[in-house]
Structure 1
Amino acid sequence: MSTSARLRRGDPERIGRYRVLGRLAAGGQGVVFLAAGDDGRQVAVKTLPWISDEAARHRMATELDLLRRVSGFCTAQVLDADLTHNPPHIVTEYVPGPSLDELVRSEGPLRGEALERLAVATATALTAIHRADIAHLDLTPRNVVMGPDGPRVIDFGLAHALGGATTDSPIAGTPAFIAPEQLAGHPPRTAADLFSWAATIVYAATGRPPFGDDSVQSVVYRVLHQDPDLGPDIELDGFLRSILTVCLAKDPAHRPSAQDLLYHLVDQAPMDPAGPPIRSQARKPARKRSWVIAVAAVVVIAGGGGGVVVLWKGESGSPAAQASAAPARLLPPPLYAEEAEQAARNAYGIVNSFAHQTLDKDFQAVDAVATGRANVEYTGRLQDQAQRIREEKIVRKAVPAESGIVAARPDRVAVLVWGQTTTSSGSSHDYRRGGAILEMRKVATVWKLDHVWPREPHLNSAEMTTGEWPSGLMTTLLSAASGSGARAVALETLTSAGARVFRLNADETVSRLDLVPTGRSFQVGSSRELGVS
């Protein structure tokens, strides 16, 4: 967020329990103030228009509750809100730094690693936002803050919470970052954020939006009817250019999900603009079960060359449905395991992220997501390195990209999480991708991290392998998919089109296997190495 300006006459000295320090921004829906809480922590307080209708206020309160669920990684986390105060306001984490718009205007377009970091960080933010069943609906370069620990997305979900798009226009007052379906008046969905994301990245790389920045009428026409102008001078390699092209598709059904976008960015895998991408929207969003589609299997056998063949019983009336063998089910993980997986993703980022200037707060953050056992392990390891971290001014940021459930029982769940870690010291940056097994324990009603197994997983013990899940044919399937020497296999998702699993290999690589139906069978159709621990 921009450096705060002095308060103006009439500005409040306090908003709720927050002492106002200065102005950060002003727009059509209110003013954003820099403020401090009772503990001295600086926050951003955004005033909101007064809502007199009680039902509308209740709906907005519900939306704001959803915003609080969004992980703070690569976003400015929502901390507090009060809709009954005059003025109503929402409190978020304060992120010092210029907006992307300000940075590009003052220093020019981003290049190389800086552009790639921006793309990955903003895609990570959208993934977290969409996992909470929220759409941003106002993603522009003004709503990306170039913070000291990397880019952060702000103001997510407020457009929907306030009942429509914000009146704060995008750059130069044009609809340059708004998806075609929004301009056409259709109800926006999360796919609109992918269009806005791509337009924002093009702006960051070129200094101009992909559909121009002249008159409103001209820009609207281009967004609705013309191809984006990526420009011959744009410094984008093939994989990023192809991703931007797909995300700027006119048809929202042809854009990827945020999760798929993040996967392609981290793996530097191009997208095919010729047709709709494979979407992971069947992936588990918060509060919804994507495991509804269960595959009715007949038998599982190990195929030649390490492949896995699963004979299955299809829908009624299909040839596969007429199989004479008695059907059995590939049972998905129970709902509590999905809840533990979400907690594991959050914990992965927290325990692997720290900064030299916030080590004490980093210890406190781990305490909130970990059991006493895990906290002792973490703080002991980090305190041994604390002096070096402070002296060398080290900052580490971990971002979870993919995850899957390895094994589950009601009080304990093992989750395989794969992501990217960026370690910075001065001007040097080190990027690593890899996976680890996080063992989550149920503490009262909350899932907490109990242990991290980057090498030898604890799930090999009889205690875990005799848990509630996997069982039956699912155990056979995961065992067959593991091949030789793998330490663990995790199920990412089951869909009517097949299954996706992750495999933690003996050499510390992580592979993704897509199991696809071929006729009446299931086979490992593709295998991709995701990264090294």
Structure 2
Amino acid sequence: MPEITGLRGDDPAEVAGYRLTGRLSSTVYAGQSAAGETVAVRLLPAEMDPEPFLRTIEPLQALSAVSTAQILATGLLGEQAYVVSEYVDGPALEAAGRTLNGVALYRLAVGTITALVAVHQADLVHGDIRPGNVLLGPDGPRVIDVGLERAMAASAISTRKVAVPAYTAPERLRGAPPRPPADVFSWAATMVFAASGSAPFEGGSMAGTVDRIVNGEPDLPDLGELHGLIAACLAKDPATRPAASDVLLRLVGQTSYLTGQVVTGEPPSRPTEPPPRRRVSLLPLAAAFVVGALVSGAGVYAVTGGNAPARTVTAATSPASPASPASPASPAATPTITSAQTEAPLEKVEKKAATETKLPTIGVTLHEHPNDPVRLVSYVESTGSFTSYAREKSGTFKAVGVTEQPLLSPGGDWVALNPLLKFQGSELDQVKFTKLSTGESFVVSTVKKPLQSLIPVWSRDGGKLLLSVYNRESKPARLVGFVVIDLATRKAVHVETEYLDDATLTYTFAPDGTIARGYWDGKRGGIEYYDMVGQVTKTMHWVGLPRGASWFSPSGKRFATVCPDGKSFCVWDTKGGARQATVPFGHSNGSFLGWFNETHLLVQDPGKKKGTQVVKIIDLVGVTERVLADFAKDDPALIQFARVQGR
């Protein structure tokens, strides 16, 4: 915990409505909001020109808070500029007093590079990555002072006095401005410090260190699987270093099942072919999942309800959507909107839970009823050995693996275990299958390195497993196809697709057993259906973007997406694409998880207490019927909700 000392006589009592409670350093104070939340308040030197500083720091307020200390407010106190940011209750890496290895080092690497991904995707740079700017918070590492050096430089003020520029990229020592490759270099040097307690170019003096950074080779400790990646990031030539996004995907190779971010665009026109792909990176969304899954051990799988294209493609038969989201829908231009209740009888949801089940190792409390058609069926511990658990038909949870993503089949007996750490002793990616009732197990190889198979989804009959395939070495990493594993034959079929698409829009099984996925062309989002040679057979370009892998309802007659306007969830008819319901977001940071029954959705929203989350059952007008689970922290540990067999 950072040391907080008392205020001095000349210190202000309040800044921007935050009451100051103590000093964290000579320029940073601890403060408290009216709601009692602790913040960090930096008061800039009185001699600096505040206007250029505030202009430079302003874009950082919109930055994703994934693994960074979020900026809450900026402004002037008299003639002094201030920055109010999220308080991280943990020591700086340089003061932690210990070195890291194994899983701990891996988690630190993922968390901190995730922060850089978010910064760089916002067309910003950090400019000052070092052990003093990485805090080891209780919910994972946080990178602080993002962009502060650049903002201070705009006012001709140095952010800090550097005794030894041990973490500075060689091009910056030659006078180049801070750019993303320099951040990657500094990140790698900081990871070396985390593993060894010293900088990789330590030269005994400033001159010696500068000479080693510019001309010498780094001293690298035993970094395990990170060794080659860290060495590549410390290359002298910035052009040869991997981008932060590539580093992240090489480390984890995972993408988001759930995201709270909504991608919007202009409403679609009706093409006869899918428009050519123009890559719009959604990697910060993937980063959010990665941090949850492997940094704080968190993330939520969508409900699994049993449930590259050729140039010439058959277009969807449904009419196009309206020309403007503000314009009334024309019957000739958009699918007919019907009442959801006329399409399916309103299904009952038990208003009160009958049992409460606590899973203390992941901080989750389940509020279940015997009549629920959906329940939690698997999870991964967020600390310790990262043990994977699957729920037996009796209701008890059984340990089934370690550092593996468990996915229980619709039949409730077979568990697919997808390794979170790939290529451990083999060039082949593999999936392990274990039968809960007998302990029988077997392994199926999917693709060969550098490809990876991720985001498993069971078919509705439990006979096949679908995984999305990524090229981990392409720049940027792309979704390049899918793999289908047949449980009966124990063989995998790898299907390449012509479109190399965004990594966050993964494949899933459609109700009829064909393959479907969302797509984003830079202007609009929709869905596509594929055959087993990778060709698109149908597209619905007006429906918006699906989330996760479980957007089809239990009957398969409808599916849900984030609406094209990005302001609500839309429910569509699967056959023709007519809109059946528009469901308002419960919270701006909420996420769609899947279907509870035919007329209710599962969503994840922030809880009443800061840092908590809830999974809620809502109807198709957005009314909450019941809370299904409480999460004691923002991101619970790799949880899978799934349908109960026969319901």
TM-score (norm 1): 0.55
2:42 corresponds to which residue?
46
Distance 1:245 1:89 in 2: 38
Q: Does 1:249 align with 2:235?
A: yes
Distance 1:344 1:176 in 2: 32
Distance 1:100 1:493 in 2: 45
1:168 corresponds to which residue?
160
The 5 Å alignment of 1:381-420 reads: 388=358, 392=360, 394=362
Does the 8 Å CA contact 2:110/2:252 hold for their aligned counterparts?
A: yes
Pairwise CA distance, 1:62: 3.7
Give the alignment partner of residue 71 of structure 1, picking from 57, 64, 68.
64
Higher relative contact order (CA 8 A, sep 6+): 2
Give the alignment partner of residue 93 of structure 1, picking from 63, 86, 92.
86
Partner amino acid, structure 1, of 2:113: A
2:30 corresponds to which residue?
34
Distance 2:292 2:21 in 1: 32
Distance 1:61 1:492 in 2: 47
Does the 8 Å CA contact 2:245/2:283 hold for their aligned counterparts?
A: no
Q: Secondary structure at the match of 1:119?
A: helix
Pairwise CA distance, 1:3: 2.5
Give the alignment partner of residue 137 of structure 2, picking from 131, 142, 147.
147
Q: Does 1:504 align with 2:520?
A: no
Distance 1:492 1:75 in 2: 36
1:219 corresponds to which residue?
209
Does the 8 Å CA contact 1:395/1:424 hold for their aligned counterparts?
A: no
User: Which structure has the larger Rg?
Assistant: 2
| Deviation digits for residues 21-45 of structure 1 (CA, Å, limit 9, x no counterpart) | 111123xxxx111100111110011
Partner amino acid, structure 1, of 2:10: G
Distance 1:348 1:255, change over 3 A: closer
Give the alignment partner of residue 261 of structure 1, picking from 237, 244, 247.
247
Pairwise CA distance, 1:394: 3.0
Partner amino acid, structure 2, of 1:424: S
The 5 Å alignment of 1:11-22 reads: 11-22=11-22
Q: Does 1:134 align with 2:124?
A: yes
Distance 2:80 2:357 in 1: 45
**Percent identity for Structure 1 against Structure 2:** 34
1:331 corresponds to which residue?
276
| Deviation digits for residues 454-497 of structure 1 (CA, Å, limit 9, x no counterpart) | 85899xxxxxxxxxxxxxxxxxxx999457689xx9x9998xxx
Q: Secondary structure at the match of 1:186?
A: coil
Distance 1:191 1:384, change over 3 A: farther
| Deviation digits for residues 388-431 of structure 1 (CA, Å, limit 9, x no counterpart) | 25xx26359xxxxxxxxxxxxxxxxxxxxxxxx97435x45455
Distance 1:10 1:137 in 2: 32
Does the 8 Å CA contact 1:354/1:395 hold for their aligned counterparts?
A: no
Pairwise CA distance, 1:5: 1.9
Distance 1:2 1:479 in 2: 42
Distance 1:109 1:479 in 2: 36
Does the 8 Å CA contact 1:355/1:393 hold for their aligned counterparts?
A: no
1:293 corresponds to which residue?
none
2:611 corresponds to which residue?
none
Distance 1:434 1:388, change over 3 A: closer
Partner amino acid, structure 2, of 1:76: A
Q: Secondary structure at the match of 2:252?
A: helix
Pairwise CA distance, 1:92: 0.8
Distance 1:354 1:179 in 2: 26
Distance 1:349 1:119 in 2: 11
Distance 2:362 2:483 in 1: 39
Pairwise CA distance, 1:64: 2.5
1:25 corresponds to which residue?
25
Q: Secondary structure at the match of 2:229?
A: helix
The 5 Å alignment of 1:271-290 reads: none
Q: Secondary structure at the match of 1:38?
A: coil
Pairwise CA distance, 1:354: 12
Does the 8 Å CA contact 1:355/1:394 hold for their aligned counterparts?
A: no
2:192 corresponds to which residue?
202
Partner amino acid, structure 2, of 1:32: V
Distance 1:218 1:72, change over 3 A: same
Partner amino acid, structure 1, of 2:246: D
Distance 2:226 2:115 in 1: 18
Distance 1:248 1:48, change over 3 A: same
The 5 Å alignment of 1:359-508 reads: 388=358, 392=360, 394=362, 423-424=381-382, 427=384, 429-430=386-387, 431=403, 455=457, 481=481, 503-504=506-507
Q: Secondary structure at the match of 1:192?
A: helix
Q: Secondary structure at the match of 2:25?
A: strand
Does the 8 Å CA contact 2:480/2:497 hold for their aligned counterparts?
A: no
Does the 8 Å CA contact 1:129/1:136 hold for their aligned counterparts?
A: yes
Pairwise CA distance, 1:191: 0.6
Pairwise CA distance, 1:86: 4.2
Distance 1:199 1:354 in 2: 20
Distance 1:227 1:349 in 2: 31
Pairwise CA distance, 1:343: 8.7
Partner amino acid, structure 2, of 1:388: K
Distance 1:226 1:166 in 2: 27
Distance 1:68 1:393, change over 3 A: farther
Q: Secondary structure at the match of 2:85?
A: strand
Pairwise CA distance, 1:121: 0.7
Q: Secondary structure at the match of 1:68?
A: helix
Distance 1:18 1:347 in 2: 29
| Deviation digits for residues 85-129 of structure 1 (CA, Å, limit 9, x no counterpart) | 4432111111101110001xx2x3112111111111111111111
Distance 1:93 1:482, change over 3 A: same
1:412 corresponds to which residue?
none
Distance 1:158 1:384, change over 3 A: farther
2:620 corresponds to which residue?
none
Distance 1:213 1:85, change over 3 A: farther
Distance 1:112 1:60, change over 3 A: same
Pairwise CA distance, 1:346: 8.3
Q: Secondary structure at the match of 1:81?
A: strand
TM-score (norm 2): 0.46
Does the 8 Å CA contact 2:164/2:205 hold for their aligned counterparts?
A: yes
- Give the length in aligned residue pairs: 348
Name structure 2 gaps, 5 residues minimum.
255-261, 266-272, 298-339, 341-349, 365-378, 388-402, 408-454, 461-477, 487-493, 518-532, 535-637, 641-647
Distance 1:455 1:120 in 2: 25
Aligned-residue CA RMSD (Å): 4.9
Pairwise CA distance, 1:347: 7.8
Distance 1:343 1:236 in 2: 26
Distance 1:246 1:385 in 2: 52
Distance 1:18 1:492 in 2: 54
1:102 corresponds to which residue?
95
Pairwise CA distance, 1:433: 5.6
More helix per residue: 1
Pairwise CA distance, 1:213: 5.5
Does the 8 Å CA contact 1:493/1:499 hold for their aligned counterparts?
A: no
Does the 8 Å CA contact 2:140/2:296 hold for their aligned counterparts?
A: no
Distance 1:388 1:200 in 2: 38
Partner amino acid, structure 1, of 2:7: L
2:180 corresponds to which residue?
190
Distance 1:111 1:9 in 2: 44
Distance 1:222 1:348, change over 3 A: closer
